[in-house]
Chain A
Amino acid sequence: MKHRILMAAVSIGATVAFSAAGSAKTLVYCSEGSPEGFNPSLYTSGTTFDASSRHLFNKLVEFERGSTKIAPGLAESWQASKDGLLHTFRLRRGVKFHTTKNFTPSRNFNADDVLYSFQRQHDPNHPYHKVSGGTYEYYQGMSMPSLIKDIVKIDDYTVQFVLNQQEAPFIANLAMDFASILSAEYADQMLAAGTPEKVDLEPVGTGPFQLVQYQKDAVIRYKAHPDYWAGKAPIDDLIFAITKDASVRYQKLKAGECHVMPYPNPADIAAMQDDPDINMLQQEGLNVGYLAFNVERKPFDDKRVRQALNMAINKQAIIDAVFQGAGKAAKNPIPPTIWSYNDATKDYPYDPQAAKALLTEAGAAGLKTNIWAMPVQRPYNPNARRMAEVIQADWAKIGVEAEIVSFEWGEYLKRSKNGEHDTVLLGWTGDNGDPDNFLYVLLGCDAAKDGTNRARWCHKPFNDKLIQAKQTSNVAERTRLYEEAQLIFKEEAPWVTIAHSVVFVPVRKDVVDYRIDPFGGHAFYGVDLK
């Protein structure tokens, strides 16, 4: 039996004195749930990414801390061919993998690790493809199987991705969690030992922290990777104390049992802001909450009806009643934090009289319809039922009678994807900071076919702009195209763009340089304690 204590610290009274924990600096994060596993390519939840990719692994390219800007990661530089089909990555030298009780790396990171990490997801015949369930939903969801034709090792420190078609957001995709780089050497050893699943349970990466212990549903312990290529983390130990209830997380934060907590209850925010021991950090989220009209159903095929219903909604009342101030009215389908956001877009003014007149002109006076309200709380919509009630009341003022409908979440997603709704409340949180990840995924013609485009709106002039933007890597040109696309969107009004929520992260006063991740993640490399 092996016992080890991380530090010579014990509890004092009811609270724990972290700063008195000997020489080691330990940061405790009250996380909101348990990870599904530790290989981020197999899963889709932010909770799993927080526990895995954001601490244990690196990607070829990374998002800069607290930003959506792409920065070098395990690739020092990269270059695209003129036709945009070849992307060549020069890999960083001297990058060390974690040493664990099961694995001592004999070599540094190289091209074999990149090939292993991608081929495992890409090639159905790869020996690891089916290990741990083999469900690579992000890789699939970002259309990587059809996009990537081949991955070629040019030499130990050069890798080339060959694409089937030009795709400007490709580099941003590689900064996503599913593109984390795992150790090929470790995978080979585990395969030879007949325990390939250990690669996903006892992870080995190049990231700033390495896993020490996971006690299911209770605690995850990490220690700083001493040889991290970008420099050792300022804190020595990182602990995730898994606490599912937001009220309890707040009590733990107040009691000093943790330093940082995610997802506070909106009702607790005011008290947290008044607490002298807590710093309330906040940032606009990379998200949008919307109401989509099913344009395949009458009378929503008439844009005048959609415009009228836009004008009938008092967004500020929604921000006050539903977001309790923690949101910002949305006028575009992408959040202001994403490049190419068109600030020149004019939103529909709240004007019930004009709305009623336009509705009558369109022959839809006295319309009877439904509003689908999500049964769950999401970052972009803290209370869909309440939101639907506000919209219902607003529409009633112009003579529109709307019934509020809700289903169990899985059923809601399935039925709305099948287009069974008249209007539906939903939203989106960005994956990679690229406008394409909102516009094409949610409003493109392909998405209208598969149902992800809940408005089922396929508008050729709009879609053409998105396709053109995909096929050029010139950022200025792409910006122009997306700005124009946003104006078309506003004129056609397939959605009521409702709000971008504000993300709050309360941290204790002794936490230094914690930055809110625009993607909704929680990462602690670079964070220090006073």
Chain B
Amino acid sequence: MLRFIATRFGMVIPTFLGVTLVSFSLIRLVPGDPIELWVGERGIDPERHAELLRQFGFDRPLWEQYLGFLGDLLQGDLGKSIVTQQPVLSEFLTLFPATIELSLTAMMFALLVGLPAGIIAGVRRGSMFDHTVMTVSLAGYSMPIFWWGLLLIILFSGTLGWTPVSGRISVLFYFEPVTGFMLVDSLLSGQPGAFKSAFRHLILPAIVLGTIPLAVIARQTRSAMLEVLGEDYIRTAHAKGLPPLRIIGLHALRNALIPVVTIIGLQVGLLLAGAILTETIFAWPGIGNWLVNSISRRDYPSVQGGVLLVACVVITVNLLVDLAYGLINPRIRRAGGS
């Protein structure tokens, strides 16, 4: 097992280095000069332009800038945003809890609905329920997030008035953030109605962000269940007269969950990607929203630092999933260590 863990960790280092290179170079490949964008139609004289490039260090050769970025990174310094002049790490840490809160809720929604739907669809293959789950999940997977989000806002917030339109909590509640997680902070604030307001604000964004993972999980669970239900040991269990619920719950589900766990791990990356659009629609102050703005302003330090930190989160989650997968399935553990 130790060898397996060491191998997995060994793969993280080159991945991390690759991410630093990609995050550094991708934003620089996008055409557009951050200073020209900044001053807009007003323009800037060439001397002042050169002076600002020098001030931000953008006049140095790219390899030198990259090595400088790596050097600062080793000291835990991701640089300062050229727009706000605030440290990138502190901006990220301020906004990240909002993204985690939204992503976790979305994932919880996806699991709570997607897993049972997938299991039932697998067990009742060919039934009306199965067809419905497959059709709805295909629709959910294909739906553009932006359109889906606006549709829900117009229906539930605009027309029916059931949920708030956007934000994390009604602006009339005022308290200093403690954890950055609005559900927790609203409870800690002790203000009547604050938690309810925060929860209501979370409903639509979580549904929108959770729709695609839900569809993927439901479909994956269904196909994994179908595969397992056709195995000999399930037939044997039936022949032995075990109760169907026991067969599905204990024998089938446990084995079917192995590929599903991997899929869930992969959804973390998808969730963070989806968060970019969801946060923009719902004015959700998370890192997705922040990264989009940083890209449009060519705020190189924020983009490279932000992408790197997001990649670190995805790498870490996938590493944990890999390890969990190894724990669940000894064959993987042995193959990974050999």
Chain B, Cβ-Cβ closest to A141: B42
CA distance A254 to B153 in the complex (A): 12
What mask results when residues 27 to 49 of chain B are scored 1 for a CB within 8 Å of chain A, else 0? 00011111011111111111010
**Max count, chain B CB within 10 A of own CB: residue among A137, A216, A218:** A218
* B197 proximity list for chain A (CB < 8 A): 10-11
- Residues of B138-160 at the interface with A, using a CB-CB cut-off of 8 Å, are 150, 153-154, 157-158, 160
Which of B8-16, B70-78, B121-129, B175-183 lies at the interface?
B175-183
Tell me if B172 and A6 are in contact (CB < 8 A). yes
* B170 proximity list for chain A (CB < 8 A): 10-11, 16, 257
Looking at the assembled complex, report how far the CB atom of B282 sits from the nearest CB atom of chain A, in whole angstroms: 7
Tell me if A1 and B188 are in contact (CB < 8 A). yes
CA distance A179 to B221 in the complex (A): 63
Looking at the assembled complex, report how far the CB atom of A211 sits from the nearest CB atom of chain B, in whole angstroms: 13
CA distance A414 to B44 in the complex (A): 10
CA distance A216 to B37 in the complex (A): 22
Kindly state whether residue A298 has any CB partner on chain B within 8 Å.
no
Kindly state whether residue A15 has any CB partner on chain B within 8 Å.
yes
Kindly state whether residue B174 has any CB partner on chain A within 8 Å.
yes
Kindly state whether residue B105 has any CB partner on chain A within 8 Å.
no
Using a Cβ cutoff of 8 Å, how many contacts connect chains A and B?
179
Tell me if A26 and B172 are in contact (CB < 8 A). yes
* B164 proximity list for chain A (CB < 8 A): 11, 14, 255, 257
Which of A74-82, A236-244, A389-397 lies at the interface?
A236-244
Kindly state whether residue B271 has any CB partner on chain A within 8 Å.
no
Kindly state whether residue B82 has any CB partner on chain A within 8 Å.
yes
What mask results when residues 143 to 178 of chain A are scored 1 for a CB within 8 Å of chain B, else 0? 000000000000000000000000000000000000
Looking at the assembled complex, report how far the CB atom of B284 sits from the nearest CB atom of chain A, in whole angstroms: 8
Interface bracket on B: 35 or more
- Residues of B203-239 at the interface with A, using a CB-CB cut-off of 8 Å, are none
What mask results when residues 274 to 318 of chain B are scored 1 for a CB within 8 Å of chain A, else 0? 000000111101100110010000100000000000000000000
* B171 proximity list for chain A (CB < 8 A): 16, 28, 219, 221, 239, 241, 257
Partner among A16, A217, A254, A408 whose Cβ is within 8 Å of the Cβ of B285 = A217
Looking at the assembled complex, report how far the CB atom of B303 sits from the nearest CB atom of chain A, in whole angstroms: 14
Kindly state whether residue B166 has any CB partner on chain A within 8 Å.
yes
Partner among A5, A242, A451, A452 whose Cβ is within 8 Å of the Cβ of B174 = A5
CB within 8 Å for A410 and B31 given contacts A5-B174, A218-B285, A452-B42: yes
CA distance A407 to B36 in the complex (A): 13
CA distance A134 to B38 in the complex (A): 14
Kindly state whether residue B7 has any CB partner on chain A within 8 Å.
no
Residue tally, chain A, CB below 8 Å to B: 67
CA distance A155 to B193 in the complex (A): 55
- Residues of A10-43 at the interface with B, using a CB-CB cut-off of 8 Å, are 10-11, 13-16, 21, 26, 28, 33-34, 36-37, 42
Partner among B175, B200, B290 whose Cβ is within 8 Å of the Cβ of A3 = B175
* B200 proximity list for chain A (CB < 8 A): 11, 14
What mask results when residues 196 to 232 of chain A are scored 1 for a CB within 8 Å of chain B, else 0? 0100100000000000110111110100000000000
Kindly state whether residue B243 has any CB partner on chain A within 8 Å.
no
Tell me if B37 and A410 are in contact (CB < 8 A). yes
CB within 8 Å for A10 and B172 given contacts A34-B293, A244-B289, A245-B283: yes
Kindly state whether residue A273 has any CB partner on chain B within 8 Å.
no
Tell me if A5 and B173 are in contact (CB < 8 A). yes
CA distance A413 to B37 in the complex (A): 8
CB within 8 Å for A4 and B174 given contacts A241-B167, A251-B165, A255-B158: yes
Tell me if A10 and B95 are in contact (CB < 8 A). no
Partner among B48, B82, B157, B283 whose Cβ is within 8 Å of the Cβ of A140 = B48
Tell me if B280 and A251 are in contact (CB < 8 A). no
Tell me if A248 and B176 are in contact (CB < 8 A). no
Tell me if A255 and B165 are in contact (CB < 8 A). yes
Which of B59-67, B83-91, B249-257 lies at the interface?
B83-91
Chain B, Cβ-Cβ closest to A219: B171
Partner among A7, A140, A248, A411 whose Cβ is within 8 Å of the Cβ of B282 = A248
Looking at the assembled complex, report how far the CB atom of A14 sits from the nearest CB atom of chain B, in whole angstroms: 4
Kindly state whether residue B192 has any CB partner on chain A within 8 Å.
yes
Kindly state whether residue B58 has any CB partner on chain A within 8 Å.
no
* B98 proximity list for chain A (CB < 8 A): 218
CB within 8 Å for A137 and B39 given contacts A221-B174, A244-B289: yes
Chain B, Cβ-Cβ closest to A218: B285
Tell me if B154 and A10 are in contact (CB < 8 A). no
CA distance A72 to B152 in the complex (A): 49
Chain A, Cβ-Cβ closest to B37: A410
Partner among B36, B157, B172, B290 whose Cβ is within 8 Å of the Cβ of A7 = B172
CA distance A327 to B170 in the complex (A): 36
Tell me if B33 and A218 are in contact (CB < 8 A). no
Tell me if A2 and B176 are in contact (CB < 8 A). yes
Looking at the assembled complex, report how far the CB atom of B209 sits from the nearest CB atom of chain A, in whole angstroms: 15
Kindly state whether residue B25 has any CB partner on chain A within 8 Å.
no
Tell me if A427 and B41 are in contact (CB < 8 A). yes
Tell me if A409 and B37 are in contact (CB < 8 A). yes
CA distance A245 to B177 in the complex (A): 25
- Residues of A380-437 at the interface with B, using a CB-CB cut-off of 8 Å, are 407-411, 413-414, 417, 426-428
Looking at the assembled complex, report how far the CB atom of B162 sits from the nearest CB atom of chain A, in whole angstroms: 6
CB within 8 Å for A141 and B85 given contacts A14-B161, A217-B95: no
* A200 proximity list for chain B (CB < 8 A): 85
CB within 8 Å for A245 and B41 given contacts A2-B176, A133-B82, A251-B154: no
* B32 proximity list for chain A (CB < 8 A): 408-411
What mask results when residues 108 to 125 of chain B are scored 1 for a CB within 8 Å of chain A, else 0? 000000000000000000
* B154 proximity list for chain A (CB < 8 A): 251
Looking at the assembled complex, report how far the CB atom of A12 sits from the nearest CB atom of chain B, in whole angstroms: 10
Q: What are some 22 contacts across the A-B interface (CB < 8 A)? A: A1-B178, A3-B189, A3-B191, A11-B170, A11-B200, A14-B162, A133-B55, A134-B55, A140-B44, A141-B43, A219-B171, A239-B171, A242-B283, A243-B167, A244-B283, A248-B150, A251-B165, A252-B165, A255-B158, A255-B165, A411-B36, A427-B41
* Chain B interfacial positions (CB closer than 8 Å to A): 30-34, 36-46, 48, 52, 55, 80, 82-85, 91, 94-95, 98, 150, 153-154, 157-158, 160-168, 170-178, 188-193, 197, 200, 280-283, 285-286, 289-290, 293, 298
* Smallest CB-CB A-B distances: 3 pairs: A410-B32, A217-B285, A218-B285
Instruction: Taking A248-B150, A414-B36 as given, write out 18 further A-B residue pairs in contact, using a Cβ cutoff of 8 Å, ordered by the A residue number.
Output: A1-B188, A7-B172, A11-B197, A14-B163, A132-B85, A133-B80, A137-B44, A197-B85, A216-B95, A216-B285, A216-B290, A221-B171, A241-B283, A247-B153, A255-B158, A255-B164, A411-B32, A417-B43
